[in-house]
A and B are shown apart, each in its own frame.
Chain A
Amino acid sequence: MRVLALSDAETLRSRYAALGAEPPHSLLRGPETGLVMLRGRIGGTGEAFNVGEATVTRATVKLADGSVGHAMALGRVPEKVRQAAVIDALCQDGARATLIDAEFIAPIEQALAQADERRRRETAATRVDFFTLVRGED
């Protein structure tokens, strides 16, 4: 669910389309957009406080075999969340879940990790290397 939520809508859409025919499903809830209040902690580790809200979309679907899937993601992204909920429902079956993890989730996760690593290395290039100037006093 984490990877599905972090994936951008376009990536998810194209990978979802590549799966072939969409499994028949009914929408139990949503997709609907609302708000979540984002919380932080005072000083970083102290008491919780409300920072501000974010838009969020959620959906719950039910497949023909009765499996139920949930999804929630930041933004106003009904299609992405509906697709994520279908994937989540498919994962309720153990054997199918292993297959989906390997074929569907892992590549997205890898791409996310690569993008993160790229950004980390860009930030690392802006790290200050201090050096001490020798003073002519000796």
Chain B
Amino acid sequence: MYVAVKGGEAAIDNAHSLLADRRRGDRSVPSLTLDQIAEQLALGVDRVMSEGSLYDRRLAALAIKQSRGDLIEAIFLVRAYRTTLPRFGHSEPVDTGAMAVERRISACYKDLPGGQLLGPTFDYTHRLLDAELEGDPEIPAGATRDGPPEAVTRIADILGAEGLIEEDFPATGQPGDINQTPMEFPLSRAMRLQSLSRGDEGFLLALGYSTQRGYARSHPFAGEIRIGEVEVEVFLPELGFAVAVGRVKLTECQMVNQFKGSAKAPPQFTRGYGLVFGQSERKAMAMALCDRALRAQEFGEDVVAPAQDEEFVVSHCDNVQATGFVEHLKLPHYVDFQAELGLVRTMRAEYEAGLGAPAVETPPTIEIREAAE
């Protein structure tokens, strides 16, 4: 039975204006500007772009402001906005090898071409709160170092030269797109990666962590992590060639796993790959761990853990979907609940009749009715 109910219009309107009031907070405190959010909460903006699956710093900053800093709400806003825009096409695959690197580290090789470049990292900080930041201290510009530019060689190219790592095979044809086609399992690795790249950081982090703790038995090396800007090129049919349309900041992670070989492949290193919008090392690493775990069947490994189960990981990694289903529980379920209430009352009556005595104290109204009967 479906019963339409109306009401609450004024309550909803007032709730929204109360929300606007609380969002703004104390009016004697200056309002946040989008520039402030984009510049000083840059990693929050990166997360909203990554999980909102839309690269636009200003929109992400606006979403953070509107959502009062609730990043999943901000991601939801960005996803919703995205659906209002037409799709013009796709870019050429970006070349992360040509990235203007801002950070690049490898846990495999100490001395590798290009070196270990720490960049703007939280690593090696002492995680002590800085009381000075309660104010607005003068911050000097970053130090610089002269010297000729040096190519920052990929780890995969170094291991690839020896033939000790699985090769990438450039495939022809269009990769599937989870935005335009409903997901059907099993997915191609390309579609899986698209889904992981916009997946919830916390979910992927927990799953990645589980693979390290023994739920899938993974002992990878962070072959390389690089963060920096790449140029985006789009093919314009009116010109007949691809032109650069701008730059985006990306984080890439190559995880390297030992593999003892199979009937088809000799012993070698295998790879897990992570690529996400913005500066988000934790997410890129977690994505790479999940990518490798999800390749279990490809390598003939036993599927024994949640992180290896494609349907489990991909179906639950999207925080907009997850929040929609979890939070729908707060919508009115009055009729459903009345039905269940009736059912439980009946069952309880049967139970008590069978037992011969009430199991718990019954409310007085029922007692009165029973007495009347």
Contacts and interface: CB of A to CB of B under 8 A. Distances in A.
Contact of A47 (B58, B117, B143, B175): B175
Given A42-B190, A44-B273, A1 B244 contact: yes
Nearest to B272: A43
B interface, by DSSP: helix, strand, loop or mixed?
A: mixed
B94 to A, nearest CB: 6
B244 A46 contact: no
A83 interface: no
Nearest to B246: A74
A123 B100 CA distance: 10
B299 to A, nearest CB: 15
B47 interface: no
B190 A56 contact: no
A75 B53 CA distance: 14
Interface residues of A, number: 50
B54 A40 contact: no
B290 interface: no
B324 interface: no
A74 B245 contact: yes
Interface stretch (B35-43, B126-134, B232-240, B260-268): B232-240
Contact of B245 (A39, A40, A73, A128): A73
A50 B243 contact: no
Given A52-B50, A54-B55, A125-B142, A42 B193 contact: yes
Nearest to B273: A43
A49 B96 CA distance: 13
Contact of B117 (A6, A48, A126): A126
B309 interface: no
B147 to A, nearest CB: 6
Nearest to A124: B145
B358 interface: no
Contacts of A76: 56, 58-59
B247 to A, nearest CB: 7
Contacts of A51: 94, 193-194, 197, 250, 275-277
Contacts of B144: 118, 121-122, 124-125
Interface string B23-61: 000000000000000000000000001100111101100
Nearest to B228: A123
Contacts of A126: 103, 117-120
B146 interface: yes
A56 B54 contact: no
A38 B248 contact: yes
Contacts of B115: 127-128
Contacts of B252: 44
A14 interface: no
Contacts of A70: 236, 238-239
A56 B234 contact: yes
B70 interface: no
B145 A5 contact: no
Given A42-B168, A53-B82, A76-B58, A47 B102 contact: no
A11 B94 CA distance: 26
Contacts of A125: 142-145
A35 B127 CA distance: 39
A101 to B, nearest CB: 16
A24 B90 CA distance: 32
12 contacts: A1-B244, A34-B87, A35-B88, A38-B55, A40-B93, A44-B156, A46-B169, A53-B82, A54-B232, A55-B59, A74-B247, A126-B119
Given A36-B90, A51-B197, A128-B116, 9 more contacts: A1-B243, A42-B168, A43-B271, A47-B168, A73-B246, A75-B246, A120-B149, A124-B146, A126-B103
Interface of A: 1-2, 5-6, 32-56, 58, 60, 70, 72-76, 116, 118-128, 130
Q: For the complex of A and B, list the 3 residue pairs with the smallest distance between their C-beta atoms, beginning with the closest.
A: A46-B168, A74-B246, A49-B190
